[in-house]
Structure 1
Amino acid sequence: MNITVIGSTGRTGRQVLVEGLRRGHHITAFTRRPQFLPTVPAPTKVVTGDGRDPEAVRTAVAGADAVIAVVAAAGRKGPHHTAAVARVLTAAMAETGVRRLAITSAYPIVGVRPRLPMALLRWMLADAYADTAQMEEIVSATDLDWTIVRLTRLIDQPARGGVHISRGLLDRPGTLTRADVAATLLDTVADTTYARTAINITGG
């Protein structure tokens, strides 16, 4: 597949890029910081730009079979641009005829168990989660074949496999390796099983 990865130099985005290339996909890396892209393996194509720039985003997604977007603020205090990027990205995809999108979100914006940790996270990250919730509204209002992938707490460890995927709330949200997230995102865009739905994922 021809896959465009938005946010390809972040810790999770890099994992998507490397795993996608390992699977034999043609990967277009879209980033503001191309100097941080791996050289081995190198992406098939690099487009440099800001996710809020319509022209740059159109260039990045044109000709893609699918787009994987991993957009997050650099730090807890922001700035938070996830909703703004989603608005530009979905418009660019509609204009260029690209339909398949997987975009990451945060499970705590819908999670209710365990009650105290979820409430504390929503208080600590109120601005970030408000931005993320707005992103979900923007994406789900389109007629693209979108999948919103809500993530639990991410850790930097080798893939474990056994990822649990649910359309409903999770009984026991736990940790999730970024490598497993990358594999799940790539699996998600490979077909339309989870098209036009939000899924919640956690480690096995």
Structure 2
Amino acid sequence: MKIAVFGAAGRIGSRIVKEALNRGHDVTAIVRRPEEYAYIHDHLKVAKGDLFRAQDVETGAFDQDAVVSAYSPPKDIPASTIAEVAVPLIKGLKQAHVKRLIVVGGAGSLYVEPGKQLIDMPFFPEEYKSTAEAHRQALKFYMAEQDLDWTVISPAAEIEPGDRTGVFRTGGNQLLKDGNGQSFITMEDYAAAVLDEIEKPQHIKGQMTVAY
């Protein structure tokens, strides 16, 4: 398959790129500064693009089988841009006539009990609330989208660099925990779950999650 990854230089985006290449896909890594993107592979192309410009999205998405948005704002950029970027992203894909979209989401919008999302719980860390709220607002944009075959993939409550085990659970919009009450996934296994969903879609027009 031909897969374009926006935000390919980020911690999660870079792992999605490598996972896709390891599976034999042709990948286009779309970044703001391609001259700084050091990863080299026979099936990898590096292109310049800005997710905030629908025309750039259209150009990057053209002739691709699937597009991944792994956008994560730098520290000097407001977290609210996570939601704002949904508009040019959706518009650009439609202009490129590409329907399959995978979005790296947040865990805050996952439900922990009926009617209550993780972000609304009193123990949710204050320092992550603005980012979690932006992901929740972005999800609303995608949920209203009827033409694209989108999937928002929310990680476990905790996600960190680690090993790729290939052994994990997936679910819908409810937070997954292990037998010890922990909700965790490595970025490497998260990337594996992203590629699983691209190759064998199970959550078209929906939210999914992945955890141990």
Which residue number corresponds to residue 64 of structure 1?
64
Which residue number corresponds to residue 127 of structure 2?
124
Offset, 1:141: 1.2
Offset, 1:164: 1.0
After alignment, is 171-180 or 65-74 more displaced? 171-180
Which residue number corresponds to residue 83 of structure 2?
83
Partner SS, residue 138 of structure 1: helix
Change (3 A) 1:109 1:116: closer
Q: Where do 1:6-85 residues align within 5 Å? A: 6-41=6-41, 44-75=44-75, 78-80=77-79, 81-85=81-85
Which stretches in structure 2 are left out of the alignment for 5+ residues? none
Write out per-residue CA displacement over residues 16-63 of structure 1, whole angstroms, 9 at most, x where no aligned residue.
Answer: 111111111110111113244233336632221221012211110011
Partner SS, residue 163 of structure 2: coil
Which residue number corresponds to residue 154 of structure 1?
159
Whole-angstrom distance in 1 between the partners of 2:29 and 2:119: 38
Change (3 A) 1:112 1:98: same
Whole-angstrom distance in 2 between the partners of 1:53 and 1:126: 26
Offset, 1:122: 5.5
AA partner of residue 146 (structure 1): W
Which residue number corresponds to residue 163 of structure 1?
168
| Deviant stretches of 4+, over 6 Å | none
1:104 partnered with 2:104: yes
- Conservation of the 8 A alpha-carbon contact between 2:58 and 2:92: yes
Write out per-residue CA displacement over residues 165-198 of structure 1, whole angstroms, 9 at most, x where no aligned residue.
Answer: 1114235152211111111111111133211111
Change (3 A) 1:2 1:171: closer
Offset, 1:146: 0.7
Partner SS, residue 119 of structure 1: coil
Whole-angstrom distance in 2 between the partners of 1:138 and 1:190: 24
Report the number of matched residues: 202
Whole-angstrom distance in 1 between the partners of 2:120 and 2:164: 25
Which stretches in structure 1 are left out of the alignment for 5+ residues? none
Whole-angstrom distance in 1 between the partners of 2:45 and 2:105: 26
Which residue number corresponds to residue 145 of structure 1?
149
- Larger helix proportion of the pair: 1
AA partner of residue 144 (structure 2): A
Whole-angstrom distance in 2 between the partners of 1:61 and 1:138: 19
Write out per-residue CA displacement over residues 50-94 of structure 1, whole angstroms, 9 at most, x where no aligned residue.
Answer: 21012211110011100111112223x742211122111111111
Write out per-residue CA displacement over residues 141-176 of structure 1, whole angstroms, 9 at most, x where no aligned residue.
Answer: 112111111112111112122221111423515221
Offset, 1:107: 1.4
AA partner of residue 181 (structure 1): Y
After alignment, is 93-102 or 164-173 more displaced? 164-173
- Conservation of the 8 A alpha-carbon contact between 2:151 and 2:208: yes
AA partner of residue 79 (structure 1): P
Whole-angstrom distance in 1 between the partners of 2:151 and 2:205: 6
Whole-angstrom distance in 2 between the partners of 1:116 and 1:49: 31
Whole-angstrom distance in 1 between the partners of 2:61 and 2:50: 13
